[in-house]
Structure 1
Amino acid sequence: MPNAARLVAALCVGGLALIVSVQVMGLMPDSADFGYFTYVNGLIGLCVGWIVVGKRAGRGLAAAINNGLSGVLMLLLWALFVHACVEMVDRALANRYGDVFQAIVAVLKLMAEYGLVLLDTLAIATLIAGGLVSGLLTEYAWRSGR
């Protein structure tokens, strides 16, 4: 059911995904080709905000903070999973895996490798602050939009 809280959550988490994507692009070598990296992350952020964060609005201030932080965690997990799957498919098309199990293990390894890039102080601080703000703004929108 569409409401103001879901819209605000989608915009906040989607915007946060775009901001962190630009920060991550600065951490990578100049020769890296990002393609649709920021757009994919923005779309994932919109979906996570709408489905996860916006759905759980209206449970109080402490729950709003937890909601925002768990939304950021879901954003990270889905973004890492999607980008690892894309890389695995590219490698699979180049015949780098002998069987399906190797490809599945490669997704987990790639998620871990990509996650290590996010161990930057600025990226972590941005994610935490963005999660707090997203949760609080979503809660405010839920209270105002009733």
Structure 2
Amino acid sequence: MALSYRSSMPTAARLVGAVVFAIWGFYLARLATPFFLQGQPPAIFLPACVIIGVYLGWVYVGRRLGNGYGAALGIGLTAGFVFGFLALLVVAFALMIRHAMHNRYQALSDAVLGIFDLMIAEASRFTDPTLITSLFAGAVLCAWVAEWVAQRSR
């Protein structure tokens, strides 16, 4: 399915969405730092969270803007779920690489399947109410800011 010309064009709302979601991703990465072992996340975690935020703001949220604040609420909540999943995937992938370098896997398939086991194990560490609230409330707030810009730039 091809995207229409209008939905693929850069807009002010997409730019603002990318910026606010990138800032939100940076904030969440810094907020999650104490929950890692020894308070040290993988080196790729902070840049990955910012990149995930930019992607969500530009592609996912930016494409769906202009339908009102109620729709932005749902878009923001979904973006929060996607961000959480992708951030856990990044952490699990970094741990899988570390484990693979220590020869803990017998085959490539064991390593790939190990990512999902590591995601489940790591998810239990990030069950802090402040972190979860910041994840979803921040995503909704960012979506509302982008929606506000989309309504003003028509």
Offset at residue 124 of structure 1 (A): 0.9
**What whole-Å deviation, never above 9, does each CA across 1:59-93 have from its counterpart, x for those lacking one?**
22211101111111111111211221222123223
Correspondence for 2:95 among 63, 87, 107: 87
TM-score by length of 1: 0.90
3-state SS in 2 of match to 1:30: helix
Correspondence for 1:96 among 97, 104, 127: 104
Correspondence for 1:11 among 11, 15, 19: 19
Query: Structure 1, unaligned stretches of length 5 or more?
Result: none
| Structure 1 residues 103 and 121: alpha-carbon distance in aligned structure 2, compared to 1, 3 A threshold | same
Number of matched pairs: 146
3-state SS in 1 of match to 2:122: helix
CA RMSD of aligned residues (A): 1.7
**Counterpart residue number, 2:31:** 23
For the 8 Å contact 1:66–1:135, the answer to whether it is kept is: no
Distance 1:32 1:102 in 2: 26
Offset at residue 114 of structure 1 (A): 2.1
For the 8 Å contact 1:45–1:75, the answer to whether it is kept is: yes
**Counterpart residue number, 1:32:** 40
Correspondence for 1:135 among 138, 143, 148: 143
Matched residue type, 2:132: I
Matched residue type, 2:56: V
Query: Structure 2, unaligned stretches of length 5 or more?
Result: 1-8
